[in-house]
Amino acid sequence: MEIEKLQGIIEAILFAMGDSVKLNQIAAVIGHDEDTTRKIIHNMMDKYEQQDRGIRILELENSFQMCTKKEMYEYLIQIAKQPRKYVLTDVLLETLSIVAYKQPVTKLEIEKIRGVKSDHAVNKLVEYGLVEEVGRMDAPGRPLLFGTTEEFLRRFSVQSLDDLPSINPEQVEHFKEEAEEEAQLKLDI
């Protein structure tokens, strides 16, 4: 295999793993002995320095790790300080509306309503600061209860939960009928 291809493989491994990777593991993957692998990696390290790249490879005992050069930290801090924009997918909006109208609510209750696992959706909403743990249910296993946050109110321009639009009872009946029909279709198949 040509040297550029080997370097590409090593670069991909170190980038994807994030943490340090043992020299013997890298050598086994590229099919070379440890001395040759070390020389290839040292060659890459020299190239990164000469090309003034934003990354470097560190040697840590018998392992290697890709990391950012310390000269780049100020740029990373600038980007990290920028407010993160997030997208509320249909799944997240559906989960958020369940939490908003049913709170305090457990993941299990959310999953019963949605009909699918909701761990990822709830975790994303917590990460976005729209939902938070508000306590534990007094039941076996003491499941976590979730509710909306002040950030939720701010983002949706609602002063309080009482200001959320009310659900039309006829529409609820219609949704129930649709869900029952869909469930029956699945049972018939």
pLDDT tens digit sequence for 107-151? 999 998 888 899 999 999 999 999 999 999 888 889 999 999 998
Assess contact for 23 and 34: CB atoms under 8 A. Answer: yes
Q: Is the bond preceding 143 in cis, omega lying within 30 degrees of 0?
A: no
Look at residue 76 and tell me whether its pLDDT is greater than 90.
no
The answer as to whether 98 is a domain residue is yes
pLDDT score of 64: 93
- How many other CB atoms are found less than 10 A from the CB of residue 14? 23
Identify the domain containing residue 16 by its residue range.
3-73
Q: What is the CATH number of the domain that holds 26?
A: 1.10.10.10
Total structural domains within the chain = 2
